[in-house]
Chains A and B, each alone.
Chain A
Amino acid sequence: MSVLVLLKMVPDVVEELEVSADGKSLDTSFLRTILNERDDHALEQALLLKERHGGKITVIALDAPDMDDVLFTALAKGADRAVKVTDVPEGLTTHAAARLCAQVIATGPGLLPVDLVLTGVQALDDLDGLSAPLLAQQLDFAYLGVVTGVAVDASGQGATVIKEYAGGVRGEFAVRLPAVLGAQAAEKPPRYVPVAKVRAAMKAQAIETVPAPGSGAGAALVEVQQMAKPVVSSHAEMLEGSPEEVAGKFCELLAKRGLL
């Protein structure tokens, strides 16, 4: 079985985010980026499938700062190949990025045939579309999103896929392969890999590079008129002081409301 996992870096929202001087985009000058959390789950799901069914995992990413570390980490976790797409045009739309990934998959060395393409169901910086369904459409593969579990049938022609709804209800689907799945969460938390193992991967394995097919950044499908911090209509009344003082104030609040 061959599984491709698409990985993407996104802004780390634990950090304070600032808007650029143009008032329309994110200020990237001091931006810390991390692997899209949903993509990390997509990778974990692929690793679980490999443990169960064998096969080969290839991780693919468009070049970005710190991408090599992420790709070596994926290799250390058990991915077999890592492919980095270089010379990526600036300001790619989500549609154009999906088109580019589809071209890389179609033309990159030994990437087809593929049974499953796993990637995060969404990324924090998606605005004009969602990567996974766009990719499915480009490749003419089946698609299901908000996925939390995958089992490949013995025939290898299909998969049983779990999708999450609201209120804790999930749906089970029969999906024809090949398919693109938008991962919400893997069946288990993403595994931890020690730094030493990542260093060993850096020494023993290599990241393959593929230049981006020259399809450009794509015509913008949306225009950002303005970007700003949310206008705050209300703000919490802050309880201040030492933990003990704060706790005292908290109790007063509860007492006033008959909750103590």
Chain B
Amino acid sequence: MAGNIWVLAETWRGQVTETALELMALGREVAGQLGVPLEAVLLGHNARPLASSLGAADTVLYADHAAFAEPTPEAGALVQLIKERRPHAVLVPWTNLSMDIGALAAAHLEVPFVNGCKDLKAEGGALVAQCVVYGGKLEAAVTATTTPALFGVLPGSRSADAGRVDKMPPVVDVAVIMPEPKVRFSRYLEPETGDVDITQQDVLVAVGRGIQTKDNIDLAEALAVTLGGAVCGSRPVIDQGWLSLSRQVGKSGMQVKPKLYLMLGISGAPEHIEGMKDAQLIVAVNTDAAAPIFNIAHYGIVGDALEIAPALTEAVKSKKG
């Protein structure tokens, strides 16, 4: 008899996250396929009422500990619960928030933490994960050779609404022992303000590695101004210090839903797509005709962003008169 399916019910500043709800929907499907219960694992402090957001679960395992009042990478409690209760699989949000705890728990238990799963299904009693590898260039169907196994599930696997069931599930209080932490949360550092709020723009011109130099961002800026929008960027551009952190779109940055998202030299890493996939109109310019972004964009242009951007600026200017 297979063990239960668990979802690590990630919380952020007093709320169950959207990604956790997505995983509840996915977990519900997988548990159904295996014919086992779905359990949500809620690690918190005075957070019992949050179980009411986890109605998709058959049971909520709630561990209350002062260590969970703020984010922590410490995985001791999760390790203890897995050892005691032997689930078949633990679905962990593949997010900056939960990646540490999932990876550390797997390391302690010497079990896999399957990276970057975009989907999961049961086949013949085993779970098969569809994983994004090599920055989205390839995908792999992966099984774990051990149970329990942990699966790091990417945001967007299911809709959060499908995992949102408003009823209070049975809550089981579980006692956990947390060792003296080696890592302690001190405080949040809020995003810089005063700059353009890219989440409020109708038009965004996004630049990636293909823009090549900081100076070339002027080309994107000119185009953005002509279109009445703002410039934003993908991780490599932010890491280079060419744009401020407040302009970053993606997993660590902002989630944006503009009317137009025009991408210059962004190949389409999964982390970036997470932040912009819901834009109404996505147009991508890339020199590589095989770039993954052309599978996401509505319209594509194969070409050098440095040549295309000025041409677009000129054309838009002349249309506007």
Count residues of chain B with CB under 8 A from any CB of chain A: 96
CA A230 to CA B238, docked complex, whole Å: 27
Count residues of chain A with CB under 8 A from any CB of chain B: 92
Contacts of A166-220 to chain B: CB distance below 8 A: 166-176, 179, 182, 184-186, 188-189, 219-220
By a CB distance below 8 angstroms, the chain B residues around A257 are: 259-260, 281
* Structural contact, B314 and A247, CB atoms closer than 8 A: yes
Q: Which residues of B contact A (CB under 8 A)?
A: 12, 71, 73, 95-97, 99-100, 103-104, 106-108, 110-115, 128, 131-146, 149, 182-192, 202-203, 227, 235-236, 238-241, 245-246, 248, 251-255, 259-260, 267, 281-284, 288, 290, 292-303, 307-308, 310-312, 314-316, 319-320
Interface centre among B12, B191, B295 (most CB of A within 10 A): B295
Q: Which of A49-57, A112-120, A136-144 interfaces with chain B? A: A136-144
CA A219 to CA B146, docked complex, whole Å: 11
* Structural contact, A13 and B135, CB atoms closer than 8 A: yes
Which of A144, A167, A225, A248 interacts with B183 by CB under 8 Å?
A: A144
CA A128 to CA B239, docked complex, whole Å: 27
By a CB distance below 8 angstroms, the chain B residues around A137 are: 104, 107-108
By a CB distance below 8 angstroms, the chain B residues around A219 are: 145
CA A179 to CA B184, docked complex, whole Å: 13
A224 at the interface (CB under 8 A from B): yes
* Structural contact, B139 and A230, CB atoms closer than 8 A: yes
A30 at the interface (CB under 8 A from B): no
* Structural contact, A227 and B191, CB atoms closer than 8 A: no
* Structural contact, A250 and B315, CB atoms closer than 8 A: yes
Which of A41, A127, A239 interacts with B299 by CB under 8 Å?
A: A239
* Structural contact, B245 and A168, CB atoms closer than 8 A: yes
A124 at the interface (CB under 8 A from B): yes
Known: A174-B186, A228-B138. A236 touches B299 (CB 8 A): yes
By a CB distance below 8 angstroms, the chain B residues around A229 are: 137-139
* Structural contact, B112 and A239, CB atoms closer than 8 A: no
Minimum C-beta distance from B147 to chain A (A): 11
A78 at the interface (CB under 8 A from B): no
* Structural contact, B311 and A169, CB atoms closer than 8 A: no
Nearest A residue to B228 via CB reads A259
Contacts of A132-171 to chain B: CB distance below 8 A: 132-134, 136-138, 141-146, 160-171
Instruction: Report 17 cross-chain contacts, Cβ distance below 8 Å, ordered by A residue.
Output: A128-B115, A130-B99, A141-B182, A168-B191, A172-B186, A173-B185, A174-B184, A179-B182, A221-B145, A222-B112, A237-B298, A243-B307, A246-B303, A250-B316, A254-B260, A259-B203, A260-B316
Nearest B residue to A168 via CB reads B191
By a CB distance below 8 angstroms, the chain A residues around B297 are: 236
Nearest A residue to B247 via CB reads A168
Minimum C-beta distance from A90 to chain B (A): 18
A64 at the interface (CB under 8 A from B): no
Interface centre among A127, A235, A236 (most CB of B within 10 A): A236
Nearest A residue to B139 via CB reads A230
CA A229 to CA B106, docked complex, whole Å: 28
Minimum C-beta distance from B238 to chain A (A): 8
* Structural contact, A134 and B319, CB atoms closer than 8 A: no
* Structural contact, A224 and B185, CB atoms closer than 8 A: no
By a CB distance below 8 angstroms, the chain A residues around B314 are: 247
* Structural contact, A221 and B111, CB atoms closer than 8 A: yes
Interface centre among B97, B191, B239 (most CB of A within 10 A): B239
12 more A-B contacts (CB under 8 A) besides A220-B145, A236-B298?
A: A130-B99, A137-B107, A143-B73, A143-B182, A170-B189, A171-B187, A230-B139, A236-B296, A237-B299, A246-B301, A247-B311, A253-B281
Nearest A residue to B320 via CB reads A260
Minimum C-beta distance from A149 to chain B (A): 9
* Structural contact, B245 and A17, CB atoms closer than 8 A: no
Nearest B residue to A244 via CB reads B311
CA A188 to CA B142, docked complex, whole Å: 37
* Structural contact, B184 and A144, CB atoms closer than 8 A: no
By a CB distance below 8 angstroms, the chain A residues around B293 are: 236
Known: A143-B73, A171-B71, A238-B301. A221 touches B139 (CB 8 A): no
Nearest B residue to A177 via CB reads B182
* Structural contact, A222 and B144, CB atoms closer than 8 A: yes
By a CB distance below 8 angstroms, the chain A residues around B144 are: 221-223
Which of B73, B134, B135, B252 interacts with A144 by CB under 8 Å?
A: B73
